[in-house]
Each structure stands twice: as C-alpha cells, then as structure tokens.
Amino acid sequence: MKAKGITLGAAALLVALVLGACGTSQPAGGADPGGEKPRTTTHTEDNWTIVTPVGWVRTDITKDADAKKAIRYAHADGRYVIVAIDPLGSGYESDAVWRYEVKGNRFEIVSKDDCTGGQGCSIDDQRYDGYVFSKNTGPAPKVAGHEYYFIFGNTKSTTIDADEFETIIESLEAK
C-alpha cells in the first residue's frame, strides 16, 4: 500500500528516524531508556531536596551536630556532604572555607579559599574537610525560614574533586 508515493513501511521507518533524531528523555536519576544505570540520586527532606551521585547513603546526625537539623550524605569511599540548618554555634577547623550567595531558594558557591596553615586549619589530619557559609559578614540569610551551612570532604583522602562538591551543594533546593 502507498501513501503519497511512499510505502507505509518506508513512512514508518522515516517517522522512527525523525523521532530518534529528536533525542530521548531521561528519567529522574540521570538514567536513559537504553538501560544505563542512574548516575544520581535525589534525596528529599522536610526542608530541602539535594542530588548526590548514586551510592551515597543518608544519615540523620542531628543529635551529634551543632545545628537544629543535620543530615549527612556519604559514600563508602569517604566522600561526604552534611547539610545543616539553624546553627547553634561551634568552633571548627577545616582545609577550606567556601562562601555561598542565596539565589531564590538555592545556593551558589561564589568563593573557595583553601586553608594554608595556622589556627583554624586542619591540613595535617590525613582527611579533607571544608565548610560552606554565607558570604555575608553578619547573620546568614534565611532561606525558606532557615539558616544553612554545609560541611563536605573526604574522610579517607586529603584531596577532593571540588567541582563534584560544588555541584552537590548547588543542587540543594530549600523548601
């Protein structure tokens, strides 16, 4: 059977080629319909959602934190990110201090400063720890009613992939 000079089989093939050229949609988690495993996991909390690489495990560490709520997302290889809200006050030592600006209900990393030694540095402890605070010199701005800060790093290495941690932190959406 022909439709306007093209057989129905050829028309079906043409439609399949055109649709294939338009791309494919990816389901949540970064997987594609071709069977590729998801590359990310979205974690949903009462106050936020955050996206981590697959394999990261969520642990509520509020009882051990200097914050009203703290959740740790970590991988068995030592990488971790802690999201904490409404800090209660504490001293800290770190390998780096990053600063964020609030963009609506999200966070954008605007500076990254490595510790170079001295008081407040933890550069000799065989691990990597960084903190992310508001760039404001006064109180941190409230986002969805809360002050946020982040702790990140690797408990088994003194180096990190800074881009990976920036992507995770910037994926957080407060609600």
Q: Are 149 and 89 in contact (CB under 8 A)?
A: no
Own/partner pairs for 38-47, CB < 8 Å, 24+ apart? Answer: 43/71, 43/73, 45/71, 45/83, 47/85, 47/144, 47/146, 47/174, 47/175
In a domain, 15, yes or no: yes
20 plus 72 within the same structural domain: no
Specify the pLDDT at position 32. Answer: 52
- Asked if the structure places residue 148 within a domain, the reply is yes
Rounded to whole angstroms, how far apart are CA atoms 104 and 110? 15
Give me the number of domains the chain comprises: 2
Same domain, 103 and 23: no
Query: Are residues 149 and 79 located together in one domain of the fold?
Result: yes
Question: Is residue 154 assigned to a domain?
Answer: yes
Q: Say if 111 falls within a structural domain.
A: yes
Same domain assignment for residues 16 and 66: no
Q: Tens of pLDDT along 69-85? A: 999 999 999 999 999 99
The number of residues in the chain equals 175
Find how far residue 21's CA is from the centre of its chain.
31
Is the confidence at residue 16, as pLDDT, over 60?
no
Assess if residue 32 is contained within a domain. Answer: no
User: In this structure, are 136 and 93 located in the same domain?
Assistant: yes
DSSP, residue by residue, the chain: -EETTEEHHHHHHHHHHHHHHT-----TTT--TTSPPPSEEEEE-SSEEEEEETT-EEEE-GGGSSEEEEEEEE-TTSEEEEEEEEE------BSEEEEEEEETTEEEEEEEEE--SSTTB-TTSSSEEEEEEES-SSSPPPBTTB-EEEEEEETT-S---HHHHHHHHHH-EE-
Whether 3 and 51 share a structural domain: no
Distance CA 2, CA 171 (A): 52
Residues 70 and 119 in one domain: yes
Domain that holds residue 5: 1-27
Q: What is the pLDDT of residues 83-96, one digit of tens each?
A: 999 988 766 778 99
Tell whether the model's pLDDT for residue 101 goes beyond 80.
Answer: yes
Classify residue 128: in a domain, yes or no. Answer: yes
Confidence of residue 53 (pLDDT cuts 50, 70, 90): very high
Report the distance separating Cα 47 and Cα 18, nearest Å: 43
What are 24-44's pLDDT values in tens digits?
223 345 545 567 888 999 999
Q: Does residue 85 lie in a domain region?
A: yes
**Domain of 135: which CATH number?**
3.40.1000
pLDDT surpassing 90 at residue 155: yes
Q: Are residues 51 and 116 in the same domain?
A: yes
Label residue 119 by pLDDT band (50, 70, 90). Answer: low
66 in the same domain as 144: yes
- Residue 33 counted as domain residue: no
Whether residue 10 sits in one domain with residue 57: no
What is the percent of the chain where pLDDT is above 70?
77
Same domain? For 136 and 170 the reply is yes
Residues 101 and 138 in one domain: yes
